[in-house]
């Protein structure tokens, strides 16, 4: 079922992230950097009666999430600075950074929010050819806090959909304050796809 998104995962890839994170009916899931609530909308569309919580430091993003996911809980703030309790079955961070490193505080925040046996899923896109260094550092950070860590290279899987998505971004009739930012990111990503420096990975870690 297609869902409008500002995310590079197509429907099948999003479904696999959710399956591997074991986000099913009755589970408590926390969405780091929720944006406009894509994950919550997906779960609602799939009729997964989860207990969805979303955190973002942009109030406009939370307003959109409240609109699209009225049964969810929203939290304003930087998820790395919130004092989490270990109450969640799954924590998901979809594309919270593009072309930059994921610092260890992200991993620490996810670990602190998860119950024993809970799963953290994080996606990371890189545009500048430094992907291997970022993934290595992220894996080391995750292995300090989680019992099992698996990193999958989804570059080939994601690239065709990413290309279509970014082309749409350039053509879209934006009427919001992020229009310029989206067009700049789209141009940078399309250039990386053309040069072969676009990479995409998904990390799954069990607490």
- Identify the pLDDT of residue 1: 38
Containing 64, the helix (H) or strand (E) segment is helix 59-68
- Identify the pLDDT of residue 2: 44
- Identify the pLDDT of residue 150: 96
Q: Provide the b/e sequence for 38-76 (b: ≥16 CB within 10 Å).
A: bbbbbbbebebebbbbbbbeeeebbebbeebbeebebbe
User: Are residues 3 and 38 in contact, defined by beta-carbon separation less than 8 angstroms?
Assistant: yes
Among residues 7, 127, 147, 126, which one has the least CA distance to residue 137? 126
Q: H/E/C letters for each residue in 77-136?
A: CCCCCCCCCCCEEEEEECCCCECCCCCHHHHHHHHHHEEEEEEEEEEEEECCCCHHHHHH
- Based on its alpha-carbon atoms, the radius of gyration of the chain, rounded to whole angstroms, reads 16
Could you tell me the domains of the chain?
11-155+197-206 (3.40.50.150)
CB atoms within 10 A of CB 161: 16
Tally of CA atoms within 13 A in the half-sphere of 66 that contains its CB: 10
- Identify the pLDDT of residue 86: 95
Q: Would the pTM of this model clear 0.85, i.e. be above it? A: yes
| Mean pLDDT, contiguous 10-residue spans, the chain (207 residues) | 66 92 93 92 87 93 92 94 95 84 89 97 90 90 96 95 90 72 86 94 96
């Amino acid at each position: 079922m297609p869902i409008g998104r500002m995310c590079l995962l197509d429907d099948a890839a999003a479904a696999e992230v959710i399956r591997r994170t074991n986000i099913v009916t009755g589970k408590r899931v926390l969405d780091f950097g929720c944006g406009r609530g894509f994950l919550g909308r997906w779960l609602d569309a799939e009729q997964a009666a989860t207990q969805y919580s979303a955190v973002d430091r942009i109030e406009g993003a939370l307003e959109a999430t409240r609109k699209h996911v009225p049964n969810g809980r929203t939290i304003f703030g930087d998820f790395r600075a919130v004092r989490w309790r270990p109450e969640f079955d799954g924590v998901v961070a979809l594309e919270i950074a593009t072309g930059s490193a994921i610092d260890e505080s992200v991993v620490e925040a996810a670990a602190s929010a998860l119950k024993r046996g809970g799963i953290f899923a994080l996606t990371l896109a890189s545009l500048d050819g430094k992907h291997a260094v970022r993934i290595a550092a992220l894996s080391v950070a995750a292995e300090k806090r989680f019992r099992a860590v698996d990193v999958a290279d989804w570059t080939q899987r994601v690239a065709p959909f990413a290309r279509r998505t970014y082309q749409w971004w350039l053509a879209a009739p934006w009427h919001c304050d992020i229009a310029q930012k989206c067009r700049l990111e789209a141009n940078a990503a399309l250039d990386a796809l053309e040069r072969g420096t676009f990479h995409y990975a998904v990390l799954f870690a069990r607490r």
